[in-house]
Amino acid sequence: MTRSPLLFCRKIFFCQSIAIALLLSAAGCTTAKDTTMLIDEIPLFSAGNPIGEGQYTEQKTALIQALEQHWQGKYRVVGQRFFVYPAPAKWVILDKFVSNHVQDKMGGSPEYDEHGEPDIPGFTAVDVWKVGTLRPRYIGVTMAYQPLPDGSVLYAYLEVEKL
């Protein structure tokens, strides 16, 4: 009984397709159908409280604009989740919490770390991590510079695109 060369080629192609899909998945690549946000995988910081879409709209907009102005076209925010950190807010504690999760649980590596400058008072600090290798995605955390009227501080988990 002879085997068809066409059947053999189809089996090889199928095996290659499976291998490529597994490699891309392991490298953190996504398909067009995968629209989940990486920031949804970061748990709520224990001292934080989620806020709704209509809350603190001006402050949220100002924070994102300050970051994008500071980044000068290097990064762009494509997704965000906002929270309120009750007074006294500590950047170092929030940053360590998110950093530990992103690096230990998501395999992220530090990409960008910046503290706000007096010239750009929109944010206290921002960190960005790279997740994946072949088609990496970027996530970050930032904290607003100005406290809210009750003394609490706005902070955000960010889905970032590197330009």
Closest among 134, 133, 142 to 71, alpha carbons compared: 142
The predicted pLDDT at position 31 comes to 44
The token pair at 162 is 């590197």
Please report which confidence band the pLDDT of residue 11 belongs to, taking 50, 70 and 90 as the band edges.
low
Query: Domain locations in the chain?
Result: 36-162
The predicted pLDDT at position 51 comes to 93
Q: How confident is the model over 57-73, as pLDDT tens digits? A: 999 999 999 999 989 99
Distance CA 85, CA 112 (A): 22
Q: Is 0.85 surpassed by the pTM of this model?
A: no
The token pair at 68 is 């994008």
Going by the DSSP 8-state scheme, the letter that residue 39 receives in this structure is G
- Res 21 pLDDT > 60: no
Average pLDDT over residues 28-54: 79
Dihedral of CA 129/91/76/73: which sign?
negative
Percentage with pLDDT > 70 across the chain: 75
Return the higher-pLDDT residue of 13 and 105: 105
Chain-centroid distance of CA 97 in Å reads 14
Helix (H) or strand (E) run with residue 113 in it: strand 109-117
Average pLDDT over residues 114-128: 79
Does residue 159 contact residue 78 with C-beta atoms inside 8 Å?
Answer: yes
The token pair at 113 is 């770390």
| CA 54 vs CA 59, 60, 130: distances in Å | 11, 10, 30
